[in-house]
Structures are given as structure tokens and as C-alpha cells.
Amino acid sequence: MIKFFRKIRQKLLSENKFSKYLIYAFGEITLVVIGILIALQINNWNETQKEKTKLNNILNIVKSDLIKDTLKISFPIKYYEKKNALLSKIIEREDSKSELNAVNELNFKSYSSNLNILTNHEEFYMQSKGIKLLQNLSMNSSFEKDTLINNLIEHHSVYENFFKYDNEEMGNLTKKNIEEDSKYSWFIDRINKNYNRNMFVYHYGDTFKRKSARFRIFSKQFLGDLRNYDSIAKSYIYRIEKRLEKNNKNTI
């Protein structure tokens, strides 16, 4: 092709057809420019496709993380639902004295299910692998203004802080209750699941009821955060699936 254009140039110059040569030269330059533009466009298209493929891969990881979260979160939700129901019964019970008098050395095990309710808790941590990849992608590409990506990153950050606070507060409160209970003479009997009337006197008293009310405040907050995140995570799984379908259609 290059030899062909060279022969045409030489022929025009040898025949002193300068004006025609200029027209030809302009046409040749135009073709070169068009070729460069086409090459750039193809290159840009290829880069865009690579970015989309990378985004699709990361969105699949984020989706997988969210699915794991929604499966894992079911246990702490049920755990705090049950715990809050038991705490409510403790706080709202009116005839504690008659219940206390019904407890004896033969049947105490049937009354001991709530004894450790203020000294244990369940933690929850979110999956973060996909979000970290998404954060890096949004910082280094044209996807930084993508609404879905920004929403995913924002909500993950918000609930990561919520659960950090919930885990710490429940952990600190549980630790404090254990430290306070360890000062009582009946503490060892509770650990060993032995009968001790003083232990039941304490657990049916006003002090335990007040501590239960405080514990329920943080327990209900944790449960609310767990439920909200579960709902949001499921909605994002749906949104990601729709985006992946759209991206795949556009790629085809």
C-alpha cells in the first residue's frame, strides 16, 4: 500500500502537476488522520470493555459477599429476637416473689435458662473483600460517579460503623456484667450449674431487672441494625443482578 502511494506521488511530481499533487497530499493526510482516529476509537472501546469486564467481576464478588452476609446474619437476628423477648419478660414480670418461692433444689434447672442472659452476646461482621476492590476501582477510573457503586460503598461504610459500635457496646456491657456477678458468692455455683438460693434471689430482684432493662436498650438497637442491613443487602443483591444483566447485554 505504501509503495502504491509513493508511485502516485512520484508520477505527479515528474509530470509537474503540482496542484493535483497538493490535492492528493491533502487526501493522503486525511486518510492517515482518519486511520489514527479509528485506531484511537477502537483502543478506547477496548479499554472501556476491559473496565466493564473488571467492574462485572468485582460486582460479582460484592454480590457473593452480600449473599454470605444475608445467610450469616439470620443467626444473630434470631438470637437477639429471642434474647429481647426473654429480657422483656424479666422486666415486665410482676409476681417475682411467687416464682422465686417455687424454685427449689429439685427443679431449679427449669428456672435457670435466663441466669446468663446478661453475660453473653453475639457479634456480627460484614464481608469486605468486594467493597475494598470497588473502592479502588472508583478511585482510579470513570466509575467514580456511578450511583450504584457510590451507594454500595456508602452503605457499607455506614453499617460497618454501626456494627463496630454494636459489637463493642454489647461486648463491654457483657464484660461489665460478668465482672459484677463474679463478686457474688453464688457466681461459681452458676458457672457449675449448681443450686444456690441466693443466686435466684438476685436474679428475681430489682437490681437484675434494672440491668436487664439497660441491656435490652443496646440489644434492641443491635437487632434493629441487623434487620435493616439484611433488608438493604438483599435489595443491593437485586440491583447488582440487574446491572450485570444490563452490562452483559451491552457487551454482546
Q: Do 58 and 149 meet the contact criterion of CB atoms below 8 Å apart?
A: no
**Span 5-14, mean pLDDT?**
54
Neighbours of 225 (CB within 10 A): 18
Which secondary structure element, helix H or strand E, spans residue 16, and what is its range?
none
User: What whole-number distance in Å separates Cα of residue 135 and Cα of residue 150?
Assistant: 9
Q: What is the pLDDT of residues 44-79, one digit of tens each?
A: 555 566 778 888 999 999 999 999 999 999 999 999
In this predicted structure, the answer to whether residue 227 has a pLDDT above a threshold of 90 is yes
Residue recorded with cell 456480627: 124
pLDDT at 21 over 50: no
d(CA 37, CA 50): 20
Which pLDDT does position 82 carry in this prediction?
Answer: 96
* Predicted model pTM: 0.80
Give which of 233, 230, 210 is closest to 222, Cα–Cα.
Answer: 230
Mean pLDDT of 182-199: 95
**C-alpha span between 170 and 172 (Å, rounded):** 6
- Residue 98, pLDDT above cutoff 70: yes
Confidence of residue 95 (pLDDT cuts 50, 70, 90): confident
Q: What is the pLDDT of residues 117-174, one digit of tens each?
A: 999 999 999 999 999 999 888 676 667 678 899 999 999 999 999 999 999 999 999 9
Name residue 114's amino acid.
N
- State CA 189 to chain mean position distance: 41
Nearest to 114 by CA among 156, 150, 85: 85
